[in-house]
Chains A and B, each alone.
Chain A
Amino acid sequence: MKIRVAILSFAHMHAWSYAACLRQLPDVELCGIWDDNRKRGREAAERFETLFMADMDRLLARKPEAVIVTAENVRHRELVERAAQAGCWVLCEKPITTTIPDAKAMIQACAKAKTGLGTAFPCRYATPVKLAREKIQAGELGEIHAVTCTNHGQSPGGWFADERLSGGGATMDHTVHVADLLRWMLNREFTAVYAEVGNQLHRRDLKTDDLGSLHMTMQGGVQVNHIASWSRPKSFPTWGDVTMEFIGEKGVMRLDAFNQKIDVFDDDAGRLTWDGWGDNPDLGLVADFVEAVRHRRPPSVTGEDGLRALEVTLAAYRAARTGKTVAL
């Protein structure tokens, strides 16, 4: 059976990658695109040879089995609820949304409609990450005592820089991936969060924060530092990174999830660029989602997972605001 998937909004650039993944997978059809930005939606529809619809109800009336929601963060809830009401499985871009009540409402809407809700955490599908998790869970490092992580990026600008649409800056954008990986790799929940958050590097052109240094404690006392940032300069060789250093009783493991690259010295570009050659994690994410739809099961990374990661992010903002450690 061919699974028909629609994409709601191309506001988030990841939509382009997810659309490409849908077209790569067998027995899947990208059956239509809705976008409140008609120009953007039409462009995407043309590129991926599918239908553009300016009226979301008309698109949902065509009964896609599933949708991918890649709108601005604060719009996730509305789109997910409407898709769930239409009986669709939903893959929602991260962060799941920007408030706890919204996230709970989204989870509830999908539960009520008996559809599956997934959060787009593609890092779980990065091959080096999967191997790192296997090693931890096989006990190769012994008990994990401490982890130091980064999720750096370049400043994305656009709606990401508008708190009314994004719910926050780099800390909102770049905490959830790593928070989710830590929960998944260590099988533990977070118990406390402290953070220093600020607009450290873009005071002229950005109203949100561009950096958070988060200190977290996980069950069993695992101590974690994570840097969520938009600190990479425009001249940086790539978009950013996801790194984790694990300090275990029996050993140390350093993960640089996207460090599978070729140095490209390009005179035309006038700078060094890093071109990746590793597996595409987005493909694993989208493939899992499609299989979930096909077998009417929840996606492997659920809405609950999205909620847990959001809780950490919001606790970091609260800690930064109050100057105190926040218990979870």
Chain B
Amino acid sequence: MKLALIGCGGMGALHAAMAKAAGFEVVLCADAVEQAARDLAARHGARWSTNPESAARDVDADVVAIATPTPTHLPLIRAAAEAGKHIFCEKPFCRTVRECREAIRVAKKHRVKLFVGHVVRYFQEFEAMRHKIREGRIGNVGWVKLTRGGIMPGGLDSWFRDYVQSGGVTLDCMIHDFDWLRYVFGEPERVYAQALMRGEPHPMDYAQATLRFRGGLIATVIGIWAYPSGFRVTAEICGEKGMLRYDSNDASLAVHPRTVATGPTMIVPLNPVEKSPYQMEWEDFANWLAGGGEPRVTPGDAMAAVAMAEAALKSAETGQPVRFSGRIDA
């Protein structure tokens, strides 16, 4: 399958490599920033373009991958769907539930397959925890705490810092945890959240949310774009018979560079695995395109995760809990 990649930033470069590992051929790299498009295209022997909309309609491509700022997802999904391309979209699916619903509608109308990269469902450590829960190793689970984040992403002019566009850490980062919680524990009933969303002089976001699920589970989720450096994920899952705990800083490999740059020195803990979860999500998508079963995450799931993040943002704004009514994945 031939792939046109739109958005050649950090995630775009990663997806190009992982799609290739999953058997796709990268034929076009598009980015509004010419140098980014050129560099990534050169790495994959692909063509390049500075026009994302036309890249979404590229005649040579069977599949379009979207790794651009969140508010651009819907117009690019629409363009690709209208051109009959299957679509791989980076999370968050869209900025709002309304946009998600429209994206699902156009994909259905044009009979193209749409996949949203909720990659945490493929992470080995999260799968290990999910299996232990299902096997009953810790009995009935009553409380979960997930924390995720680190430094504020992007450069000084990054779109991430525009909270209206990015939805801050709540929509962009905690959405992973919202999705995983719903994947493992079912439908949420209500959410309460607080979100910092600070601007100058030190832009940072920090959000704290508590969700109550229909099954009674209480889940606390902390999203962090506020550390001076690094990235960390932790999970603590308490059941009637025991508790699971994971900390990404407690890693199998850590590299400490001796050179000290002008900025903070970042020590990145590494937990290498043979097959990246990003490759696994691409393989799951490829299998679906080849006529295999539905992938682990559906567009409805991705929309539900946006609904949870949107509700959290609304709660943060109003200072009151927000209840979910009806199905949030349809």
Contacts and interface: CB of A to CB of B under 8 A. Distances in A.
Interface in B213-243: 216-218, 220, 222, 224, 226-228, 238-243
B320 interface: yes
A227 B144 CA distance: 11
B210 A215 contact: yes
B227 A323 contact: no
A285 B224 CA distance: 35
Contact of A247 (B145, B190, B196): B196
B321 A223 contact: no
A247 B216 contact: no
Nearest to A199: B142
A131 interface: no
Interface stretch (B72-80, B90-98, B198-206): B198-206
> Is the contact region of chain B dominated by helix, strand, or loop, or is it mixed?
strand
A240 to B, nearest CB: 12
A192 B238 CA distance: 28
Contact of B196 (A145, A198, A251, A252): A145
B136 to A, nearest CB: 14
A115 B220 CA distance: 43
Contacts of B195: 223
Given A211-B143, A215-B192, A233-B243, A196 B218 contact: yes
Interface string A112-130: 0000000000000000000
B296 interface: no
Nearest to B319: A325
Contacts of B279: none
B246 to A, nearest CB: 16
A202 interface: yes
A201 B238 contact: yes
A261 interface: no
A194 B321 contact: yes
Interface residues of A, number: 36
A200 B192 contact: no
Interface in B231-276: 238-243
Nearest to B216: A198
A148 interface: yes
What is the predominant secondary structure among interface residues of chain A facing chain B?
strand
Contacts of A247: 196, 204, 206, 224, 226
B208 A225 contact: yes
A104 interface: no
A242 to B, nearest CB: 15
B212 interface: yes
Contact of B143 (A200, A204, A223, A225): A200
Contacts of B220: 213, 225, 227
B192 A196 contact: yes
Contact of B240 (A196, A202, A232): A202
Interface string A139-167: 00000011010000000000000000000
Interface string A71-106: 000000000000000000000000000000000000
Given A247-B204, A247-B224, 16 more contacts: A145-B206, A148-B222, A194-B320, A198-B218, A200-B217, A204-B240, A211-B238, A215-B210, A223-B208, A225-B208, A227-B220, A229-B238, A231-B142, A235-B242, A252-B228, A323-B321
27 contacts: A145-B196, A146-B196, A148-B208, A194-B321, A196-B212, A199-B142, A200-B216, A201-B240, A203-B240, A204-B240, A210-B142, A211-B142, A213-B210, A217-B319, A223-B196, A223-B206, A223-B208, A225-B210, A229-B143, A232-B243, A233-B238, A233-B241, A247-B196, A247-B204, A249-B202, A252-B227, A323-B321
Interface of A: 145-146, 148, 192, 194, 196, 198-204, 210-211, 213, 215, 217, 223-225, 227, 229, 231-233, 235-236, 247, 249-252, 323-325
Per CB-CB distance, the 9 closest pairs between chain A and chain B, nearest first, are A200-B142, A225-B208, A223-B194, A213-B210, A231-B238, A201-B142, A146-B206, A233-B242, A200-B143
